[in-house]
Amino acid sequence: MRRTVQVGLSMLAVLVLFAGAVGTASAHSGTTYLKVKDAHAAKPHRGSNLSYHGGAIESAVKVYIVWWGPQWSGSGFSTGGYSSGQAQTYVSNFFANVGGSPWANSTTQYCQGVASGTTQCGSAGIHPTNPAGELGGTWNDTSAVPTSPTQSQIAAEASTLAAHFGGVNTTANYMVFTPTGHSESGFGTQWCAYHSSSGNLSFSYIPYQPDAGASCGMNFVNASDNAYGNGFFDGFSIVGGHEYGETITDPYPNSGWLDSRGAENGDKCAWISSGQGAASNIGLAGNSYAVQSLWSNAFNGGAGGCVLSY
């Protein structure tokens, strides 16, 4: 009888410890996906404002990019008449100059360190500052990238990226870009990109967006292509900007700013093609980039809405 009780208590202790471990992990283990255009259009998330869920925001944003795979090095690869080098230039210039822009400024209204359930921070708490010069660095990791990497492999590569730039910065978004033909299962058919976290590391995964065509934003704003890549590369700035904005306000998914349905500031305004909040070009350092709008609780007298500037 004593042995049975001891075994039972031991099992109970293991279950308690396991439950505690799961609870701790789940606080920083969510993943939020940007659905492909047609799937998201069927379930718009506009409506109620975002509210604070007790977690962190990114106050002094930095972006680090890894171009994972040997395909990005040397002469690289080409798709649709554009080189991988042109894609890298387009993406790098976007993130080098988006900080300090009116488009990114809507994130500054959100905060941490206030009561859960807060919808308007005012001057309370710690806010994102929308600084200029947010791109902390880019790196080509020439190690082999699987044809269909798993999320665990993406997270490991984000960790490698953080280590390359001196360790995890908790106000940074570590962005993993994979080359054409090498994307996680579900890309282009179910989703375009996602952001997640591993411990205190916040990261985003951006597959090669042109591989998904119109489903992930190609020509969504610019119907014709130009030499810089506007049109063909629209998806990179729309989708990359979506994950960037969401990571600032919810770096450890589902613990920052969300609405009652679990949508973040990017989700609520994704793939709007006309009317208030419709995707459009913004100018950054002499170039144009297609972006979606981001949700602003402050818009429309506090009723909220999708905005391209703030």
pLDDT digits (tens, 9 = 90+) for 74-87: 999 999 999 999 99
- Whole-number pLDDT of residue 47: 76
β-bridge pairing 280-284 and 287-291: antiparallel
Q: Lowest-confidence range among 12-21, 214-223, 232-241?
A: 12-21
Per the structure, the count of domains in the chain is 1
pLDDT of 173 strictly over 70: yes
50 inside domain: yes
- Which pair of structure tokens corresponds to residue 115? 């009561």
pLDDT of 132 strictly over 80: yes
Of the pLDDT bands very low, low, confident and very high (cuts 50, 70, 90), residue 44 is low
116 inside domain: yes
β-bridge pairing 135-141 and 31-35: unpaired
23 inside domain: no
20 inside domain: no
Closest-CA residue to 94 (of 240, 310, 225, 216): 240
For 302, what's the count of Cα atoms within 13 Å in the CB-facing half-sphere?
5
Taking the model in full, what pTM does it have? 0.90
- Whole-number pLDDT of residue 42: 55
Q: Average pLDDT over the chain, rounded to whole?
A: 91
Helix-strand-coil split of the chain, %, nearest 5: 30, 20, 45
276 inside domain: yes
5 inside domain: no
30 inside domain: no
What tens digit of pLDDT does each residue of 100-113 get? 999 999 999 999 99
Domain of residue 235: give its range: 35-307
- Which pair of structure tokens corresponds to residue 257? 């700013």
Closest-CA residue to 280 (of 71, 103, 151, 159): 103
